[in-house]
Amino acid sequence: MSRINGFIGRRNFLKFAGLTTLSIGSITACNGMVTNRETITIPETNPNPNPVSANEARRRLIEGNKRFINQNRRYPNQSKKRLQSVAKIQYPFAAILGCADSRVPTEMVFDQGLGDLFVVRVAGNVASDETISSLEYAAATLGTQLIVVLGHKRCGAVRESINNRQFFNQIRSVPENIDGIDNINSDNIDGVDNSDDFENIEPPFSENQTKTNDVDSNKNAVINNIQYQTDKLRKNSAVLERLIQADRLRIVSAFYDIDTGKVQFLT
């Protein structure tokens, strides 16, 4: 089984578990299942009996983040009564595609409670087939009308994407007759298939940019990646695009500063 720094790539993990992307086939979202994204039926009306508009959802998130920053949190919807209520059915007012970084606990950052947010977290807040399917479920089945792609300052996944791409480019520039280097490329280093480990993260950078942990450089790359993943959600999902065209969904992007706790909406 191939590993990179002890990490088992997504494709190889699925193979190890006896699964493939297609054999997973259905993505379970606790009380619902998407078996085929191409055949998802969008209800004629919002399934939420009291739908929250995208503008109102955005306002709630902004106000919650202000409470978080000012240490004036209300810890809403965390009572036993709320627990019992959402155990029966859920209608989250917003969905968040965020990074898995432990410093970005989504419900805490926005001061929200049980059943308020439909959160999908993965390193680099990548809009993969799996994460898109989950967000389609939130929007089409649960009636969520706002999706936020939330990246954060000093994202390690973005930094490693930059550094590894530069490393691969350096390998390609080495003459092919030196020490058998012709047998090594970015898709197969030390027998490890890396062809899709970094392709889903898109932090454009200038050709002369060097490996760096510089805060400003990383922020620019993070924002580029946030915007890229936001665009990818629309381009790769007919379901989400149809909801957007029907004025039943809005997808926005946001940047979280791990030093201050502030969320800046970019769109």
| Domains of the chain by start residue, with CATH | 51-157+201-265 (3.40.1050.10)
**pLDDT at 7 > cutoff 50:** no
Tokens of 157: 């996944």
Look at residue 234 and give its three-state secondary structure. Answer: helix
Q: pTM for this one?
A: 0.75
Are 148 and 96 contacting, i.e. CB atoms less than 8 angstroms apart?
A: yes
DSSP state of 81: H
Q: What is the pLDDT of residue 3?
A: 37
- Mean pLDDT within 3-24: 34
**pLDDT at 194 > cutoff 80:** no
User: In angstroms, what CA-CA distances link 174 with 57, 138, 168, 177, 199?
Assistant: 52, 48, 10, 9, 22
- Mean pLDDT within 173-200: 41
Range among 14-23, 70-79, 154-163, 173-182 rated most confident: 70-79
Exposed e or buried b per residue across 88-121, where buried means at least 16 C-beta atoms within 10 angstroms of its C-beta: eebbbbbbbbbbebeebebbebbbbbbbbbbbbb
Name which residue leads in pLDDT, 197 or 58: 58
Sheet-wide strand order for 263-265 = 117-121, 94-98, 146-152, 250-256, 263-265
